[in-house]
Amino acid sequence: MTTYRLSAFADEAGKALSTQLAALRDNGIGMIELRNVDGKSCVDLTDEEVLDIRARLAGEGVTLSALGSPCGKYPITEPFQPHLDVFKRALEICRLLGAGRMRMFSFFIPKGEERSVYREGVISRLGQMLELARDAGVELCHENEKGIYGEGKEACLEILSAFGGEMKAVYDPANFAQAQVGSEAFPLIAPYISYMHIKDALLKDGAVVPAGKGDGGVEKILSSLAGMREDTVLTLEPHLRVFDGLKALQTEELTHHYSYPDASAAFRAAADALKEILTRLNFHESKGEIGVWTR
C-alpha cells in the first residue's frame, strides 16, 4: 500500500492559528507545516507561544509535518553568526514542538555572479547547520528556492550529495519551474526527497497555478514517487493569491493567472486540485484518518 499524507502551509488561509486550523479541518488536511502564526515567523515565537501552539494542535488532532523555517533564506554575503543564532533558535522551537524535520535553504547568491565562487562558503555553512541539527535530532530538508545556491537541479544534487544523503530535499515543482527546470529534476533529486511541496508554476512567466495546471509535472512526479516510496507527506503551498505576508516571503512579484475572492477560496482551490490529481492516480481518502490518501 502507498500512502500520501496531506499537510499545508495553513498561514496562506489566514494569520490566526484558529483560522489556519479551520482551513485544515474544512479541507480534510490533518497536518501542518508551521511557518507564520498571528503574523509572526515561526522563529520569532516565544517559548510560551510555541507551547500554546503545540497544545492547540494536539487539541485539534493536527500533527506537525515540519517547521517551515526561513533559515538559509538570506544573502550568502551577509555575516553568518546572526543567522546561525536564528537557526539555533529554530532547533529549540523544533524541540518544544516535538518537530523532527525542518525546511531550510542554501542562501541567496548575488545576481549576475558565478555560483561556483560561493560553493565553498555555502557548503561550509550548511555543514555547520547540519552538525547542530544532527545533535538536536532534527532532519534538515533543503528546499529548491529560486535565487538561492541550490536553485537548479545540478546545484541541488551537488548540495545533497556533498553530505552523503544526510541532508534531505523538499521537492518543490513550482520553484523548479520558476528556475526554468521542469520535471526532469525529479529523477536526480528523488533519492534524497523527504517530502514534497505541492505548488505548480508556468515556465513561460513563473506564474503560480493550481497543481497540475503548470509545467512542474506534479501529477507525473506523484505517480513516479508512489512507485518508489510507501509513505510521503505532501505539503500544500497554494501561492495562488497574494495573502498578508506573502510579499515578505518572495523576492519577486508573482504573476497570477488564477484569482480568488479571498484566501479561503484560494486555499480550497489548491487543495481540490491536489485531491483531483490523487483521485486520477487511483488514491482514495481514508475514512479513518484525516488527510490520508492510499492506494
Write down the residue that cell numbers 533559515 correspond to: 71
Pseudo-torsion of CA 274, 280, 286, 289, nearest 10°? -20
Rounded to 5 degrees, φ, ψ at 14 are 170, 160
Q: Where are the domains of the chain?
A: 3-294
Residues 6+ apart with CB under 8 A from 204: none
Model pTM above 0.85: yes
Angle (deg, nearest 10), helices 119-136 and 81-97: 30
> What is the Cα–Cα distance from 162 to 1, expressed in whole angstroms?
33
Q: Which numeric CATH code is attached to 3-294?
A: 3.20.20.150
pLDDT averaged per 10 residues in sequence order, the chain, 295 residues: 97 96 98 97 98 98 98 97 98 98 98 93 98 98 96 96 96 96 95 98 93 97 96 94 51 62 92 98 95 97
The closest alpha carbon to 173, from 126, 103, 222, belongs to 222
> What is the Cα–Cα distance from 102 to 99, expressed in whole angstroms?
8
Asked if residues 67 and 37 have their Cβ atoms less than 8 Å apart, the reply is: no
| Count of CA atoms in the C-beta half-sphere (13 A) of 53 | 28
16: three-class secondary structure by DSSP:
coil
For residue 241, the model assigns a pLDDT of 63
> What is the Cα–Cα distance from 19 to 38, expressed in whole angstroms?
10
For residue 243, the model assigns a pLDDT of 46
